[in-house]
Structure 1
Amino acid sequence: MGTKDREGFLKQFSVYALLICIGFIYLYPILHMISSSLMTLDDLLDSSIKWLPSSFNLENFRQAAASMDFWRALWQSVVLAGVPTICNLLSCSVIGYGLARFDFPGKKIVMAVIILSFVLPSQITMIPTYVLYSNLGIQNTIWAFVLPALFGQGFNAPIFILIFWQFFRQIPKVLIEASRIDGAGYFKSFYKVALPSAAPAFITVALFSFVWYWNESYLTELYVHGIYGDSSWTTLVIQLDNFSDNYSSYQQTATNAATNLNESINMAGTLLSILPLMILYFVLQRHFVESIDRTGITGE
């Protein structure tokens, strides 16, 4: 078991064995998806082939991308996730800073309402929100996501407000007071002093918000895409939800002979829908871990 200054073999072996088992549980579905997406129909029917395909069949990805209208859906997914995320950063940072730095009557009530709105399931407010968006004329448009985010009411905005609130509370008050003595106003103190030190909070909120907007399919289909496809806006997740119907339409209009829908093409379409997020995570992994550590988030 080792000593206080040096870890023993048994302890290290137990820790690494546990981490490997947990890592395998998380990686197994992804590895199976990658392996299956590269298989041909003969490989799927061959019981002797489990993990390694006889040949890498990239045609599955081409057909899946064509049926999903991949590039258009990818661009619209980035817009539908990115623009509300930027709005969340602007509104939630201002609200979190105000709650952290100013005392006003009813502040505790405001905090209680913010926490309650986070606990309240979105299904409860779904019908009133749908009616409100219809009356405002923003139904089936991107404004159904952008406008609420501008006012701090985006997807899971309360948790983002609490993240900024917690982070801005850690900034020494003497820095804000010193900027006020130098003649800076409230907004200049926020812009010049608070924001430059809040990079970890911004990275955390940006990643969480982008992923949540990207993965949201039901509310996107309800508010933006339209239940009956009334809008031209779509996302990769919606295209994946309707993958079977989309592939049938593609198969009927394809100039070349398209393969019948099988598990390999399904897995290829699934991999294409999560590939942008995987790339984003690997690029920002170091900054993401550091920001989580500095903002005090325990997990999601």
Structure 2
Amino acid sequence: MMKKKWFSHIILVIICLFIIYPIFWWFGAAFKTNSEIDSINLFPINPTLSNFTEGWHAIPGFTFTHFFMNTFELILGVLFTTIISCSLVAFAFARLDFPLRKFWFSIVLVTLMLPSQITLVPQYDLFNSFGWVNTYLPFIVPHSLAGGIGGSFFIFLLVQFIRGIPRELDEAAKMDGCSWFGIYFRIILPLMKPPLVTVGIYCFLWNWDDFLGHLIYINSVDKYTVGLALKMLVDTSTSVPWGQLFAMSLLSVVPAILIFFFAQRYIVEGVATSGLKG
């Protein structure tokens, strides 16, 4: 029995090494010179930090500080509008009684299975007719209407949480003269902290990684996000500065990694919690 256990552990360790090898190679490549990139060494023989300093200023007229600020500006706008709109829509589905409520909630669930590529062309035509191309409005406006990346999932998650909150709290608030908005703002919203944090984390991560959306709607270098700036390092007529590309791509994932590791307990708590804690 003990031999079996050790054998299974050894197999798992070997599999893990195969999985994490590209990550270690990527990390090592960020400190290699271009001449060392093709070497079989996992880590550089003569590590250099010049890839980070030169890569930060690799795009003429701009630094990666500008692109990071653009990305955070876009993400914060999306994050704020998503939390407000999705929580309001979820509250309406969970608490209000309006015509065809179940039907519309079913439509929301159906959109979870709808690939985003299907709506890509009509959305672009619509936003282009509004003159929103090369702005951040194609990202912020849909999220302000509980749409955009993950909107349906966020609504479903919040609806399930609100349904676990006793309705007696609503009745008590009504007796004190609270309106529906007052119940949402004073009762439900403060209790929704765990799932709202989860929504914020997922929203940040998914929109940070939305390279395709940024590529389609943003065409001015001045408005480029980090992902598009990394693409510019590859779109060059000369040799690609691979060391600088790997160094900048390594820095580009740092915010997402920090968010995930420091807030992962909130992800689990927000998904697992279905009502008030005892």
- Shorter-normalised TM range: 0.7 to 0.9
2:266 is the counterpart of 1:287: yes
Q: In the alignment, is the contact (CA less than 8 A) between 1:87 and 1:150 conserved in 2?
A: yes
Structure 2 CA distance for aligned equivalents of residues 23 and 278 of structure 1: 19
Deviations 1:34-69 (A, max 9, x none): 11111234544655xx22322331111122222253
| Aligned mate of 1:38, from 20, 26, 31 | 31
Q: Does residue 154 of structure 2 align to residue 175 of structure 1?
A: no
The equivalent of 2:22 in structure 1 is 29
User: Where does 1:217-232 land on structure 2 (aligned, <5 Å)?
Assistant: 217-223=211-217, 225-226=218-219, 229=220, 232=222
Could you state the TM-score of these two structures normalised by the residue count of structure 2? Answer: 0.86
Question: Which sits farther off after the overlay, 62-71 or 179-188?
Answer: 62-71
Gaps of 5+ in 2: none
What stretches of structure 1 of length at least 5 have no aligned partner?
2-8, 249-259
1:72 Cα deviation from its structure 2 partner: 0.5
Pairwise CA distance, 1:163: 0.9
1:98 deviates by 0.8
For residues 159 and 39 of structure 1, the distance between their equivalents in structure 2, rounded to whole angstroms, comes to 41
Distance 2:76 2:3 in 1: 47
Amino acid aligned to 1:80: L
Report the TM-score when normalising by structure 1. Answer: 0.81
| Match in the other structure for 2:240 | 261
Aligned residue-pair number? 272
Corresponding residue for residue 202 of structure 2: 208
Within 2, Cα distance between the matches of 1:14 and 1:191?
55
* Residues 97, 16 of structure 1: alpha-carbon distance in 2 compared, 3 angstrom cutoff: farther
Aligned residue for 2:98, secondary structure, equals coil
Structure 1 residue aligned with 2:54, among 44, 56, 63? Answer: 63
> Is 1:193 the counterpart of 2:184 in the alignment?
no
**Structure 1 match to 2:231:** 241
Q: SS in structure 2 opposite 1:67?
A: coil
Q: Answer yes or no: is 1:100 the counterpart of 2:98.
A: no
Give secondary structure in 2 for the equivalent of 1:123. Answer: helix
Give, in whole Å, the separation in 2 of the partners of 1:118 and 1:85. Answer: 19
Q: For 2:88 and 2:15, locate their aligned partners in 1 and report how far apart those are by CA, in whole Å.
A: 39
Distance 1:99 1:24, change over 3 A: farther
More displaced 10-residue stretch of structure 1: 127-136 or 184-193: 127-136
- For residue 84 of structure 1, the aligned residue among 67, 70, 78 is 78
Structure 2 Cα separation of the partners of residues 86 and 17 of structure 1 = 46
Aligned position for 1:124: 118
Q: Residues 76 and 52 of structure 1: is their aligned pair in 2 closer, same or farther, counting only changes over 3 Å?
A: same
Give the counterpart letter for 2:133 in structure 1.
Q
1:127-146 alignment to 2 at 5 Å?
127-146=121-140
Structure-2 separation of matches of 1:268 and 1:286:
29
Paired with 1:61 and 1:199, the residues of 2 have a C-alpha distance of 38
Q: Determine the C-alpha separation between the residues in 2 that align with 1:36 and 1:165.
A: 45
Deviations 1:159-197 (A, max 9, x none): 111111111111111112111122211111111111111
Q: Give, in whole Å, the separation in 1 of the partners of 2:237 and 2:263.
A: 33
Cα displacement (A) at 1:83: 0.7
Q: From the superposition, tell whether residues 62 and 188 of structure 1 become closer, same or farther in structure 2 (CA, over 3 Å).
A: same
Query: What's the secondary structure of 2:223's corresponding residue?
Result: coil
Deviation at 1:121, TM superposition (A): 2.0
Instruction: Provide the C-alpha distance between the structure 2 equivalents of 1:20 and 1:177, rounded to a whole number of angstroms.
Output: 55
- The residue aligned with 1:253 is none
Identity of aligned residues (%): 27
